Amino acid sequence: MSDTGSAVSPLAPRSCLNPAVTLTVLDPATEEPIAELEQAGVEGADAAVARAKAALPAWRRVAPADRARLLRRLASLVEEHGEELARIESRNVGKPIAGARGEVGMVAQVFHFYAGAVDKHHGETIPVAGGVAATFREPLGVVGLIVPWNFPLNIASWKIGPALACGNTVVLKPAELTPLSALRLGELALEAGIPEGVLNVLVGKGSVVGRRLIEHPDVAKIGFTGSTEVGAEVMRGAAATIKRVTLELGGKSANVVFADADLEAAAAAAPYAVFDNAGQDCCARSRILVERAAYDRFLDLLVEATRGVVVGDPADEATEMGPLISAAHRATVASYVDGVQPLFRGEAPEGRGYWFPCTLVEATNEDRVAREEVFGPVAAVIPFADEADAVRIANDTPYGLSGSIWTRDGARALRVARAVESGVLSVNSNGSVRVATPFGGFKQSGFGRELGMHALEGYSEVKSVFVSTEV
Ligand code: NAD
């Protein structure tokens, strides 16, 4: 697929698309159109579900070793096309190319991991009176996967990998703003030998085709990543057909810096923890909590480190932060700092593109900038008195996705990690996401886990079969 020409999913039949509804995909760094796509409507969604349903019986019967081989082949194709995929993602999302390469590398690792998991996720035999009971891991059926625009290919792979490994067929709906890498992945899946109908990529509006997937009686589960607001709609909609749901939603995570930490290391890492992907990261540690005893010293280091973030052309190898995704989103981000005197405001390109500078603001945990997910390069810096105060502030949020703790006191690190109500925490590190470890939220950040062996639980049902030995 050319990244400047038009593209239509080879997996969505033309007859089910409504050519009157075209979608123009923009480059957020230049505001230039990079693709014109035909969007599916409700009929398109129904057709995609029908294709996935038709492909299900044969896909379920594929021997585990063969299913693993197909996933491994897809992983290899992602590696072979890594540069092309990274460039599509960088251009469509405005991601720095170096980071986009890392994300595509993770996509390949995810498919390798779930190829390896296919024959390791199995049932058990349980001795019971009068016979034996065996459990089986059965696929759910057709699963609808709805993903956001901030890590389009990465997040899609976290769901596609375990879904296909467990023998489900998939209808993937990428975000309207960023469908290009998902379409290319669909082509690579066919090239890998994954049969037609097993992975369907459906370009269309969330309010139309996303909603239809949620309502559709033949869709067994919705794997959703996006905002908490739409996540609530997914739950409501799924209730009518008792669909399974996994929800990966918003975050407002704390980066807790104690006075005994390696302050240089913590300050060097803090900008990346917020400004990576221009802050459009559900795991962004957008509340930087600093112990008062080290507040002034840490602030100096933090401002210096933030000043060093290279903002500019995503295609430039040196760039560390690109633009925001859209004009509308930039206006939302700006609303959090309008009229606020920042601690620091960095440089950003002028002119075309949805640029926004790295911004640090001093806040209390009651301020709007500390309560809501800004989803942009804005960090709220909040002082705290002691360990109990830090835990109280960290937990004083409806969200619970991620967070970091910086301290040289190992016992305290574990105490605080246990006390913070979040699904993913790191000590003396920013890392939230690893292929082999579970990822997901507490509280209004959602439920269910992705990645690692845990994700397989969300894409299979346990069946128990009793066999009498007395007849
Ligand atoms: P969004 O909720 O607006 O959209 C997400 C997806 O849902 C898109 O594909 C969209 O088309 C679709 N959608 C929108 N309305 C829908 C509806 N009524 N029915 C069905 N589908 C619908 O989110 P976004 O703006 O694309 O992404 C940003 C949000 O995603 C942030 O809140 C961020 O925290 C969250 N996010 C969470 C994680 C995580 O793993 N927890 C990861 C990345 C992003």
- What is the reported pLDDT for 6? 32
| Cα separation, 118 vs 339, whole angstroms | 54
| Residuewise pLDDT in 10s, the chain (471 residues) | 333 333 334 344 434 444 457 999 999 999 999 999 999 999 999 999 999 999 999 999 999 999 999 999 999 999 999 999 999 999 999 999 999 999 999 999 999 999 999 999 999 999 999 999 999 999 999 999 999 999 999 999 999 999 999 999 999 999 999 999 999 999 999 999 999 999 999 999 999 999 999 999 999 999 999 999 999 999 999 999 999 999 999 999 999 999 999 999 999 999 999 999 999 999 999 999 999 999 999 999 999 999 999 999 999 999 999 999 999 999 999 999 999 999 999 999 999 999 999 999 999 999 999 999 999 999 999 999 999 999 999 999 999 999 999 999 999 999 999 999 999 999 999 988 999 999 999 999 999 999 999 999 999 999 999 999 998
Nearest atom within ligand 1 for CA of residue 214: 20
- What is the reported pLDDT for 382? 98
| Cα separation, 38 vs 31, whole angstroms | 20
Q: Is the CB of 148 under 6 A from ligand 1?
A: yes
User: Full-prediction pTM beyond 0.75?
Assistant: yes
Q: Is the CB of 233 under 6 A from ligand 1?
A: yes
Q: Report which of 204, 208, 257 is spatially closest to residue 237, judged by C-alpha positions.
A: 208
Q: What's the gap in Å between 32 CA and the centre of ligand 1?
A: 24
Catalytic residue among 166, 282, 283, 358: 282
Q: What's the gap in Å between 201 CA and the centre of ligand 1?
A: 17
470 carries an active-site annotation: no
- What is the reported pLDDT for 15? 40
Nearest-CA residue for atom 12 of ligand 1: 206
- What is the reported pLDDT for 457? 97
291 carries an active-site annotation: no
Print the SS3 string covering the chain: CCCCCCCCCCCCCHHHEEEEEEEEEECCCCCCEEEEEEEECHHHHHHHHHHHHHHHHHHHHCCHHHHHHHHHHHHHHHHHCHHHHHHHHHHHHCCCHHHHHHHHHHHHHHHHHHHHHHHHCCCCEEEECCEEEEEEEEECCEEEEECCCCCHHHHHHHHHHHHHHCCCEEEEECCCCCCHHHHHHHHHHHHHCCCCCCEEECCCCHHHHHHHHHHCCCEEEEEEECCHHHHHHHHHHHHCCCCEEEEECCCCCEEEECCCCCHHHHHHHHHHHHHHHHHCCCCCCCEEEEEHHHHHHHHHHHHHHHHCCCECCCCCCCCCECCCCCHHHHHHHHHCCCCCCCCEECCCCCCCCCCCCCEEEECCCCCHHHHCCCCCCEEEEEEECCHHHHHHHHHCCCCCCCEEEECCCHHHHHHHHHHCCCCCCEECCCCCCCCCCCECCCHHHEECCECCCHHHHCCEEEEEEEEECCC
Q: Is the CB of 202 under 6 A from ligand 1?
A: no
Q: Which of 145, 230, 371, 434 to mutate to test the pocket of ligand 1 (most atoms within 8 A of CB)?
A: 230
Q: What's the gap in Å between 354 CA and the centre of ligand 1?
A: 20
Tell me the CA distances in angstroms from 322 to 107, 358, 367, one per residue in order.
Answer: 21, 11, 27
Nearest atom within ligand 1 for CA of residue 151: 43
- What is the reported pLDDT for 17? 47
Q: Which of 225, 253, 432, 454 to mutate to test the pocket of ligand 1 (most atoms within 8 A of CB)?
A: 225
Nearest atom within ligand 1 for CA of residue 213: 20
Catalytic residue among 89, 176, 248, 373: 248
Q: Is the CB of 450 under 6 A from ligand 1?
A: no
- What is the reported pLDDT for 432? 84
Q: What's the gap in Å between 410 CA and the centre of ligand 1?
A: 36
Q: Which of 95, 282, 442, 450 to mutate to test the pocket of ligand 1 (most atoms within 8 A of CB)?
A: 282
